[in-house]
Amino acid sequence: MPKHKSHSGTKKRIKVTGAGKLLREKAGKRHLLEKKSSHKTRALSGTTEVAPQDTQRVKRLLGGI
C-alpha cells in the first residue's frame, strides 16, 4: 500500500502542540477591517484550538498524527 501525502494547505494552517492539541488562526481578520469594531478585531487575534468535531478530519489531513 502506498504512503499517503499530508495535505500541504493544512500543514501551513495548523500547528500541533507538544501535547498533541491542534491550533489554528481565527478567521475574519484579513480584509474589510474598516467596518469591524476594534473590539471585534482584537477578539479575532491570536490562535484557538480546533473544534473537537473537526480534530479527527484535520489529523487525517496532516498524515494521521
Q: What value does the mean pLDDT of the chain take?
A: 95
Checking if the pLDDT of 64 tops 90, the result is no
Q: What is the DSSP string of 25-45?
A: EPSS-SS--TTS-HHHHHHT-
How many helices and strands (H and E) does the chain possess?
3, 3
Whole-angstrom distance, CA of residue 54 vs CA of residue 37: 29
Interval 16-42: pLDDT, tens: 999 999 999 999 999 999 999 999 999
Domain range annotation of the chain: 24-65
Of 1-5, 15-19, 30-34, 51-55, least confident by mean pLDDT is 1-5
Angle of CA points 31, 35, 37, to nearest 5°:
105
